[in-house]
Structure 1
Amino acid sequence: MAECCTDLPDECWELIFNRLHQLHHSHLESPSLSCKRFLSITNTIRTSLSIVDPTLILLSSLFNRFPNLKSIHLNLVDQDLNRVVTDIATSSLNIETLDFVSEFLPLESFKILGSRMKNLRVLNCSRLSTMCDADLIVIADSMPCLEDLDISYPDNFSFILRLDPDDVPGEVGVTDRGIEMLSSKLKGLRKINISGNLFLTDSSLIALSTNCIHLAEIVILDCSLVTSNGIEFVMRNSMELSSLSLQDIDFDRLDDYSICCAKSISTLEIYYTVVPDEYLLLLAKADIPLKRFTLHHCTGFTFPGISSLFNKHQSLEYLSLTGIDFLTDGKMSDLSRYLSALVMIRVDRCTNLTESTFFSLAKNCPVLQDISMAGTNVGGGGRDRATNIVKNSRLKFLNLNINQNLTDECLAKLASVCPNLEVLDVSSCRGITENGIAYFLESGSKIRKLEINHCGGIKNIGNGLELSELEVLGAARSGINDDGLMVIGSRCCGLLDLNLDGCLGVTTVGLKEILTNCERLRKINLTACLNMSLDMVDWMLFSRPSLRTIILLYSFLPFESQRKKFLHRGCLVV
C-alpha cells in the first residue's frame, strides 16, 4: 500500500489516519504494521493513553513512541502509581490531562509532576479513599495552572468509620479549610466537582467564588451541609458561571435577585430537590442563555411550570426529565413543540410515557440525535396510538432499556422512524426476540453498537447481509448460544467488543466461529460462561491475536506468572 502512494506527503496520510483514529483507535493497527513510515505517522497521532498494568512495560520507550500524548488515564494498584507518575513527570511529554483511579494521592511524585508538566490543566482524582486537606495543598502547590479539578466522592464511609474523638476532620476528609487554601492558590480554576465531600459547607462555595474569579462550572451533589445561601453567593458573585449542578437545595430561600445575576448560565442540573413552579417561572423570565436543563427525580412543580420555562427557552439543546410521574404522552407532545432545537433528551423513569412520545419527539424535533426512554412504557401504547409517524434521519442513539412491554411489532415501527440509527440499547426488554432486532439490522444497517443484555428471548441477531458497521455487541445474560455466535461470526466481521457474560449456552464451538471470522476482535467478556476455563486462553490468543482483553470468571483468573505471559502477548486477562 505504501509503495503505491510514495508521492503522497506525510501531512495527507496524517489526515487520513486521523479520520480512522476518530472512528476507533484500533483502526490504526493495520496501517502501522504495513511499513515504518506509517508506524511513525500513526504514533504521532495518538494523544491519549490508558495504563492499567505497567509491570511489563518500559514506560520511557512507550512515551517516546507516542510523543504527542496530551491525556493519560491510570488505573493502577497503589504500589505502581507513584512509580508511573514519576515516569510521566520525568518524560519529555507535555500532558494536559491526568485521570487516575487509585486509593490515595501519590504526593511525592505529584510534586515532581507539577514541577515538570507546566501545561497540566485537567486533574481527575475522584473516588479516592484518603483524600484530605493536605492532599489539596499538594495539588495546589504542585499544579498552579490547573483549570479543571475533580475531587468528587472520596470514600467518606471509610472516613466515618475511622473517626474517633481525637480525629480532626481535615485529616480524614476534605473540609472548608482545604477548599479555602486550594482556591487561594488556584486563581485560574474554571471547573470543579466537589460532590460527595460530606464536611463541606457554604464557606467552601464562598471561597471558590471569591478567589477563583473565572469559575465557570461547579458540581455540588451529595454535599448535605451546603445550603441555598452558598448557592446564592455563587450565582451573585461568579460572573462567568455557565454551568451549575446541585442537589437538595431549598429554593424557597433562594433570593430572586441571584437568578437575575447569573447571566451566563447555560447549563443547570437539579437533582432530588423540591423545585416550586415559582422558581421555574423566574428562570423563564430571566435573561439567561439556557442550553442544557436537568430535573432528576425532582418534585414540587407542575406541567404549567415546565411548559412556561420551555416556551421561553426554545433554544434548549439538552433536556433531562427523569422520574417525573405527571408526564404523559399528550403533555410531552405539547412540550415537544417548544423543543425544535433539541439534540438530546432523557425522559427515563417517566412511567406514563409510551411510544407515542417517541413519535412526537421524532416529528417535532427535527435535529434530535439522541433519545433515552429507559424504564418507561414503550410498547404499552396500544396499536391504535401509533399514528402520524414521521421519519427522522438525524436520530443516531436510542436507549429503551427496561421497557417490559416492548414488543417486536413496536420495534418495527420505531425502526421505520430512524433509518440512520447507530446505537441501540434494548437491554432488559424481555418481550422482544431476534425478529424485533432484525428490523434495525436490515440491509444497509448503520448500527455500530447494540445492547441486548438480559434479553433471554434473543437467541441470535438474525440472518442477512454482513453488518460491517457493528463494532460493539453487549449480550450479557441473553439467550445467545453457539448457534447465535455462528450467526454473529458470519455477519459481524468488524466486531471489536463482545460481552457474553452469563450466556450459558456458549461453548468452544461458537467461540471458534467468532475468533475465526471477527478478525478485529479486541475484547471479549466470558464471565459466568461456565463452559469456559483459563486453559482456553492460549488457544484464543493463537486463534485471534488481535485480542487485547479477555474477562473470565473470578475462579478462572490466572496466576501472576500466567498473567504476565499473556501480557507479553499483548492481552490483559482479568
Structure 2
Amino acid sequence: MAADLADDCLLAIFAKLETSDHNAFGLTCRRWLAIQNAARTSLTLKPCYNHHSSSIYSSYLPRLLARFPQLHSISFSGCPKLPATALRMLKESSQHLRSLAFHYCTDVSDKALCFLFAGCSRLVSVVLYRSSISDRGLEVLASSCPGLLNLNLSHCAAVSDAGVAALCQNCRQLRVLVITSCSGISGHGLADCSSTLESVEAESCPLTVDGLRAAVSGGGLRYLSIAGLRNWAGGSGSLAVIGGGMAAGLRVLNLRLCRFMGDDAAAAIAEGCPRLEEWNLGLCHEIRLGGWSAMAARCLSLKVLHVNRCRNLCDDGLAALQGGCRRLEVLYIQGCPKVTALAMEAFRLARGAVLVKPEESVYIGPCLDALFKVVTRRGTAIAQAHLTSEF
C-alpha cells in the first residue's frame, strides 16, 4: 500500500510526524530514506578542533551536500577551507539555497566567497562573522543577490563604506544589517539605504556624525544599536541627529557606553522618536536633570529603560522619571551613586507596576522579540538581535 504512494504524499506524511519519528521513517526502506533526505532543509556544521579538520571537511562536506539536495539553509562554523567540490555543489544547488552562515571561517578566502556568491542569486540571509570578506566580495554579493534581507558583517576587518554603499545601492529590500566592530566603516555608505532597512547594529564602530545621519536616512529604522561608539568627533549634542525626524518609527535604541550623550541629545531623541519602547542609556554620564525631565515628559511609549551606572542620575532625575513615562514596565538601575535608597523606595511605592531590577547579561529587546524575525515566503526565520553587557 505504501509503495503505491507518490513522493509528495510521503513528504506530506513525513512533515506531520513527531520529531522523534523522523529517523525511524528513513529506516523503513531506501525510498523512504530518500524522502527523509529530501525533506531536510537545514544543515549546521560545527567546528572540528583538530589538525585533521581540513581533511574532514573536504571528505564529508560533498557527501552531505549530495545526500541532502533540497537544503535551504547551511551554516558553517570554524570551517578551515571549503573544498572546490563543495563550492561547486553549493552553486549547483543554489536554486534552493536561501541562507548561508559562516562563523569564524577565517580561512575561507574572499575569492572563494566571490565564486560562491556569484552563483547563489536567491540568498536572503548571509552571516559572515569574522570572515575574510572584502569590499569586492560585498560587491559580488550585492550584484548577485538583489533580494538579500539580512546580512551580518560583525568583525569583518576588510570591509569599508564602499562595500556597504554597494549593498545599499543593489539590495533595496535589505532589512537587517550588522556591522559591529567593523573598523573601516564610518557610516557614509548607508547614505542611500532603502526605507526597508529596519535594523542596524553598529556597536564599537567609528561612526561619524554624517555617518550616523546616513544610517537613519532611510526612514524605516526600528532598531538601532551604536553602543560603545568609537572615536566620536561630535560634541555632546551631536547624537541629536537620531531625533531629527528620519527615525520617528524607532522602537529600540541602544546608546550604552556613549558617555558623551548629553541633555540636548536626550531631549531631541525623546521628542523626535515618539514610538521608542526600549532605550538603553547605561553609562551615559553626561545626562543630567534636564535630560531625564525631557524623557519623562516626551517618551510616552517607553516600556523599558536602562540607566545603569549613570553618574549624574540623581534623586530629582529619578523623581522626574517617576512622574512621567506612564507606560514604563521595566527599569534597569544599579550603580547610580547619586540616587539614594530613599528615592528608590519612593519610586517603587509610586510606580508599583514597574519592575525595578539590575542589568542582565542579555538585555535588549524583550518587548520586540518578533521585530527582528524576517520571514520569507518559504518560512525562513532570518534574524534576531542579541547584545551582551560588558560590565
Q: Which residue among 224, 228, 249 is the counterpart of 1:345?
A: 224
State whether residues 311 and 337 of structure 2, in contact with CA within 8 Å, keep that contact through their aligned partners in structure 1: yes
Matches of 2:345 and 2:316, distance apart in 1 = 8
Partner of residue 189, structure 1: 71
| Structure 1, unaligned runs of 5 or more | 1-92, 97-109, 119-139, 478-574
Q: What does 1:237-252 correspond to in 2, within 5 Å? A: 237-246=119-128, 247-251=130-134
Q: Say whether 1:286 aligns with 2:167.
A: no
RMSD after superposition: 3.9
Matches of 1:443 and 1:382, distance apart in 2 = 17
State whether residues 277 and 300 of structure 1, in contact with CA within 8 Å, keep that contact through their aligned partners in structure 2: yes
1:338-360 deviation per Cα after TM superposition (whole angstroms, max 9, x unaligned): 23111111112214375652563
Q: Normalising by structure 2, what TM-score?
A: 0.69
Partner of residue 352, structure 2: 467
Q: 1:217 to 1:257 in 2, by over 3 A?
A: closer
Larger radius of gyration: 1
Matches of 1:448 and 1:116, distance apart in 2 = 48
Partner of residue 31, structure 2: none
1:403, CA displacement in angstroms? 2.6
Q: 1:198 to 1:146 in 2, by over 3 A?
A: same
| Structure 2, unaligned runs of 5 or more | 1-15, 28-33, 362-391
1:358-394 deviation per Cα after TM superposition (whole angstroms, max 9, x unaligned): 5633733222111111221354x36699569625432
Partner of residue 370, structure 2: none
Equivalent residue pairs, number: 331
State whether residues 443 and 465 of structure 1, in contact with CA within 8 Å, keep that contact through their aligned partners in structure 2: no
Partner of residue 274, structure 2: 393
Q: 1:411 to 1:181 in 2, by over 3 A?
A: farther
1:421, CA displacement in angstroms? 0.9
Structure 1 residue matching 2:200: 3-state secondary structure? strand
1:319, CA displacement in angstroms? 1.4
Q: Say whether 1:266 aligns with 2:145.
A: no
1:521-550 deviation per Cα after TM superposition (whole angstroms, max 9, x unaligned): xxxxxxxxxxxxxxxxxxxxxxxxxxxxxx
Partner of residue 332, structure 1: 212
Partner of residue 317, structure 1: 198
1:438, CA displacement in angstroms? 4.3
Matches of 1:116 and 1:457, distance apart in 2 = 65
Structure 2 residue matching 1:415: 3-state secondary structure? helix
1:234, CA displacement in angstroms? 3.1
Q: 1:170 to 1:294 in 2, by over 3 A?
A: closer
Matches of 2:274 and 2:89, distance apart in 1 = 48
Matches of 2:312 and 2:355, distance apart in 1 = 25
State whether residues 70 and 96 of structure 2, in contact with CA within 8 Å, keep that contact through their aligned partners in structure 1: yes
Q: What does 1:397-546 correspond to in 2, within 5 Å? A: 397-433=278-314, 435-442=316-323, 445-455=326-336, 457-458=338-339, 459=341, 460=344, 462-463=346-347, 464-468=349-353, 470=354, 473-474=357-358
Output the amino acid matched with 2:224.
Answer: I
1:476, CA displacement in angstroms? 7.4
Output the amino acid matched with 1:377.
Answer: R
Partner of residue 388, structure 2: none
Q: 1:285 to 1:462 in 2, by over 3 A?
A: same
Q: 1:418 to 1:116 in 2, by over 3 A?
A: farther
Q: 1:398 to 1:193 in 2, by over 3 A?
A: farther
Matches of 2:101 and 2:124, distance apart in 1 = 11
Structure 1 residue matching 2:146: 3-state secondary structure? coil
Output the amino acid matched with 1:419.
Answer: L
1:252-284 deviation per Cα after TM superposition (whole angstroms, max 9, x unaligned): 553855532212212222122222443334334
1:274-327 deviation per Cα after TM superposition (whole angstroms, max 9, x unaligned): 2244333433432542222222221335554332x33xx233111122222242
State whether residues 94 and 122 of structure 2, in contact with CA within 8 Å, keep that contact through their aligned partners in structure 1: no
Matches of 1:361 and 1:113, distance apart in 2 = 52
1:401, CA displacement in angstroms? 2.7
Q: 1:344 to 1:256 in 2, by over 3 A?
A: closer
Q: Normalising by structure 1, what TM-score?
A: 0.49
Structure 1 residue matching 2:357: 3-state secondary structure? strand
1:220, CA displacement in angstroms? 1.0
Q: What does 1:38-437 correspond to in 2, within 5 Å? A: 114-115=23-24, 145-151=39-45, 154=47, 159-160=49-50, 168-169=52-53, 175-195=57-77, 197-201=78-82, 203=84, 204-211=86-93, 213-246=95-128, 247-251=130-134, 253-254=136-137, 256=139, 258-272=141-155, 273-286=157-170, 288-302=172-186, 304-307=188-191, 309-310=192-193, 313-328=194-209, 331-333=211-213, 335-336=215-216, 338-351=217-230, 352=232, 354=236, 356-357=238-239, 360-361=242-243, 363-379=245-261, 381=262, 390=271, 392-433=273-314, 435-437=316-318
| RCO higher in structure (CA 8 A, sep ≥6) | 2
Matches of 2:25 and 2:334, distance apart in 1 = 46
1:459-518 deviation per Cα after TM superposition (whole angstroms, max 9, x unaligned): 4263343433x45733679xxxxxxxxxxxxxxxxxxxxxxxxxxxxxxxxxxxxxxxxx
Matches of 1:262 and 1:426, distance apart in 2 = 41
1:245, CA displacement in angstroms? 1.7
Q: 1:293 to 1:364 in 2, by over 3 A?
A: same
Q: 1:411 to 1:252 in 2, by over 3 A?
A: same
Structure 1 residue matching 2:118: 3-state secondary structure? helix
Matches of 2:158 and 2:306, distance apart in 1 = 31
Output the amino acid matched with 1:225.
Answer: D
1:396, CA displacement in angstroms? 0.8
State whether residues 138 and 163 of structure 2, in contact with CA within 8 Å, keep that contact through their aligned partners in structure 1: no
Output the amino acid matched with 1:366.
Answer: A
State whether residues 114 and 143 of structure 1, in contact with CA within 8 Å, keep that contact through their aligned partners in structure 2: no
Output the amino acid matched with 1:147.
Answer: T
Structure 2 residue matching 1:450: 3-state secondary structure? strand
Matches of 2:112 and 2:334, distance apart in 1 = 43
Q: 1:294 to 1:409 in 2, by over 3 A?
A: same
1:242, CA displacement in angstroms? 0.6
Output the amino acid matched with 2:122.
Answer: E
State whether residues 201 and 227 of structure 1, in contact with CA within 8 Å, keep that contact through their aligned partners in structure 2: no
Matches of 1:409 and 1:95, distance apart in 2 = 58
Q: What does 1:551-566 correspond to in 2, within 5 Å? A: none
